[in-house]
Structure 1
């Protein structure tokens, strides 16, 4: 009775769950590959961490596709909170590749993005914990509105790709710049 959620008729192994499993395993293999290189650069290290966190993110989708039970809806706790740290480390890869000239900017950008990800994750936890109630946001530019949970989640879902595109473009533009006459090493000891 207590292990009712482990029944075999609740496990669905179809094409969708098998595809999700393949993507998750491939992402973890990429993480192990990039993190196990002998002389990895700072950019390679951040790429490995990004794939590791992205693999944890994909476990949520595999759980939702594999398990037919209301508890599978809690994959949102994984996916909603792990996408911004993944974006953070992919952005660090673009900032620090091919050269690590922007060390100070990269460090402060990483701190800012992790803090932003933490705030968004806390906000998502509040929304998911109090899902039956509506949330009153503080006045924004003098306008006080009553937002439903769905409209706030839609705003957050629009925020993530915009952040991703803007930060990838910023990292790409910073990595193209060259400093004349300076030599730098590419290895993590230079952080």
Structure 2
């Protein structure tokens, strides 16, 4: 093996070790009584049957309205998914709006598979959905609604990685920033619903 190859492997190994310093694995999944408002951003990877897609995300949970914007690396919004007390809607890059009563119904209609959007804020907060069946695996992962959930936190206890897996799909969110500031607005509906 050439010296250059050995140096490259050593460098990649070192970089991989430095990517997520001071992460700790979530082991205790208490039932969610409530989830505080937050905003977050980071990177998203979705793998379906060995085919992967990558994007950036901006996520807010304010006044029980959950909005996830999926963006290109250059910052253009590809689409937005929002859940409020009236249901779930998605807006594509051309401004077309799609609606459904549940996130599963909408994602199945648009993508061909179900995404558990209505639970993401709970799992990201390190909790499980209360009064719903669940199982804790020996390694600390949570099983709920046919998903296996892994959560890692940084040294401040904020989420750093949230990974969801089932038989068909693997979704990985890597958080760059998470803020638990009080809601800046009194919005109680998805913004796209207000524009209609």
Specify the TM-score bucket, using the shorter chain as the normaliser.
under 0.3
Greater fraction helix: 1
Greater fraction strand: 2
User: What is the TM-score with the length of structure 1 in the denominator?
Assistant: 0.23
User: What is the TM-score with the length of structure 2 in the denominator?
Assistant: 0.22
Larger Rg: 1
